[in-house]
Chain A
């Protein structure tokens, strides 16, 4: 189906409920629907047309349309189309019908726009706080346009606590986090444990908020945001950087130069290489297998040296500007990169051969943290998690960007959906990435690496872009704005969806398997938690005295 055909089917079925539609290019579809028809349209797209749910975005568009805007993004993977269903919410007490019961994966995203933009998802089953801290005053919504970036609302309530669900009968509560050796960043899982078996869990995260989206739409300018975007995640330096640049470029119909597209591809694949090697290392460490951890990191190190030579830094590459990239790959670097890949491939083959037959590792990873195809569909699970179930979701193939339409590669899938399958997917994807980089080096055309821009970017255009990050699809939504900066920029990192699948993955598992099950999605909390304004007072509250900590420890232990 083409985008126009999908639009045709929607029009036939919903008629006047489709207010207007826009097909700016072959692989993008924007449909504006009436709020009353929103649920039916989403159900039709998600169930009947079998699209994959991507994310939901709330926008304060009072300056433009005098209303609020809600966008639900879907991906038609077979048809290579990214679609966006938009609906307006009234200015006074904005609300939209919730779709979380139709699309379970929308649970968090709807809670997020309720928190941050103040658009109420009517009919949401559990509209608890997701992003804002527990004591944040009601009615203060940081991402509204009339809230300055450094605004601290009055009325912070230290005593308010998050209302967790009641634990199931006969279960003890084991707090996992906010700080735990296997969590590199704070996040809290409240585990309900019977003996050593986990019966359920509830997540309360979003503790590392940096106000990145707010800064972007109120302080920074278009070309400064990539530098901030790459700091969303310590590992995915080029992923968010490229996704943001692509979203803006799509919005204003600007194409980066071909050479820049190839360089972006190379850097994205370098990133996948070092991220996958890092994951294999960390997973081994979680399992107590520190030797594999050290060896993975040893093999990974030359990749980091190479990225440092190309971009001047090991992880934050400062790669993209709108319309191109900043770092040229010179012939000397090309030779060095080739040599590095040869060594890497040889060493990783040895590791892969050794690990595949390791029954000791298999005993800890087989049948652990299992996801199935239904869970993948319902929660919108992504990347290696989905591919380990045998669902071949790969944005590089499904929605080609940069130079991925000009290279050959296979989408690695496994069966079983457990941690072992995820391990194998990542181990083998390393070889595909090496293949892609080699092809890029061969086929890279000569030419400039930046597209000259001689006019200001038009305001009010919407751009959506997806990039296959090492952990799955990273998705950015941008509305261009005045003053040389976007009006709204929404980041959906892959962990945002994958984390929502965790409660189902660890149910009825051993407590000992919790860490590796969680580790197997390679959770990146800083990506997930990227927004919200820093609140000085929250910080103060978090400084416990020793007595306070003791009391807290005892309280949680009981």
Chain B
């Protein structure tokens, strides 16, 4: 019976009451596991670059200006907040925050820049081993991403062999 089902539908509606939430007038905290903007902790970072090797969006650049210094730069452009970097960080230096209100008119607000002093690191920044072979990029040695233009240059010079260059991808970031 159609009228009956219409009445039933209205009953469903009325029983529910009003469910509109007053966001953004009242804050709406995210759940515990929420994957918001990743936050890099420079004090904990050992400069292993495991996060950069396993970022599906190629959002983390690494540059080694000298033997002692490694720069890690998070671009915050097309990060999908997948949380793989936080998973793989051996020192828990990356945490996925609950920060989701990240709209900004200046993309540099979201960038993070870490300068890691490698020389005196007792734990040796380059001895980190990723959990399984699937996480290991087949590239060893120094990284030379173009920090000035935020370009990920995957041309990495193997440590001992000065001639061969592995050129894998070359991603240019524009905005």
Contacts and interface: CB of A to CB of B under 8 A. Distances in A.
Q: Is there any pair of Cβ atoms, one from A and one from B, under 8 angstroms apart in the complex?
A: yes
Interface of A: 149-150, 218-225, 227-228, 231, 291-292, 295, 298, 301, 305, 308-313, 316, 318, 321-322, 326-327, 347, 350-351, 353-360, 452-457, 483-484
B132 A453 contact: yes
A316 B32 CA distance: 17
23 contacts: A223-B132, A227-B80, A228-B56, A231-B80, A291-B9, A298-B16, A301-B19, A309-B32, A310-B33, A312-B33, A312-B83, A313-B35, A313-B81, A318-B82, A318-B84, A350-B15, A354-B11, A354-B12, A358-B9, A359-B2, A359-B5, A456-B133, A484-B137
A350 B132 CA distance: 49
Given A312-B33, A357-B4, A455 B9 contact: no
A311 B56 contact: no
B158 to A, nearest CB: 15
Contact of B136 (A356, A357, A484): A484
Interface in B5-54: 5-6, 8-9, 11-13, 15-16, 19, 30-35, 54
Given A310-B33, A312-B96, A354 B133 contact: no
Could you say which of B16, B55, B133 has the most chain A C-beta atoms within 10 Å of its C-beta? B133
Contact of A455 (B1, B2, B8, B133): B133
B160 interface: no
Interface of B: 1-2, 4-6, 8-9, 11-13, 15-16, 19, 30-35, 54-57, 80-84, 87, 96, 131-138, 168-170
Contacts of B83: 312, 318, 326
A231 B136 CA distance: 23
Contacts of A219: 168-169
A224 B84 contact: yes
A223 B96 contact: no
Given A220-B56, A357-B2, A357-B5, A295 B13 contact: yes
B33 A221 contact: no
Given A326-B87, A358-B9, A316 B80 contact: yes
B9 A221 contact: no
Contacts of A318: 35, 82-84
A311 B33 contact: yes
A218 B167 CA distance: 12
B8 A354 contact: yes
Contacts of B80: 227, 231, 316
Given A149-B169, A318-B35, A326-B87, A354 B5 contact: yes
A483 B56 contact: no
A227 B9 CA distance: 40
Given A318-B83, A357-B2, A295 B35 contact: no
A456 to B, nearest CB: 4
A308 B56 contact: no
Given A326-B87, A358-B9, 16 more contacts: A222-B134, A223-B132, A227-B57, A308-B34, A312-B34, A350-B11, A351-B9, A357-B2, A358-B2, A452-B132, A454-B132, A455-B133, A456-B134, A483-B138, A484-B134, A484-B137
A355 B8 CA distance: 9
Contact of B2 (A149, A221, A360, A484): A360
B163 to A, nearest CB: 20
> Closest 7 CB pairs between A and B?
A354-B8, A312-B35, A359-B2, A357-B5, A224-B56, A453-B132, A227-B56
B8 A353 contact: yes
Given A322-B134, A351-B12, A358 B82 contact: no
Given A223-B135, A312-B96, A358 B84 contact: no
B156 to A, nearest CB: 14
Contacts of B15: 350
B21 to A, nearest CB: 9
Nearest to A356: B5
A311 B9 CA distance: 33
A454 B169 contact: no
B13 to A, nearest CB: 6
A358 B6 contact: yes
Contact of A327 (B4, B30, B33, B82): B33
B134 A291 contact: no
A292 B9 contact: yes
Could you say which of B80, B84, B132 has the most chain A C-beta atoms within 10 Å of its C-beta? B132
Contacts of A292: 9
A213 B166 CA distance: 22
Contacts of A311: 33
A353 B4 CA distance: 10
Contacts of A305: 31
A356 B9 CA distance: 11
A308 B33 CA distance: 8
A308 B31 contact: yes
Could you say which of A150, A313, A321 has the most chain B C-beta atoms within 10 Å of its C-beta? A313
A427 B79 CA distance: 36
B102 to A, nearest CB: 14
Contacts of B133: 453-457, 484
A456 B6 CA distance: 60
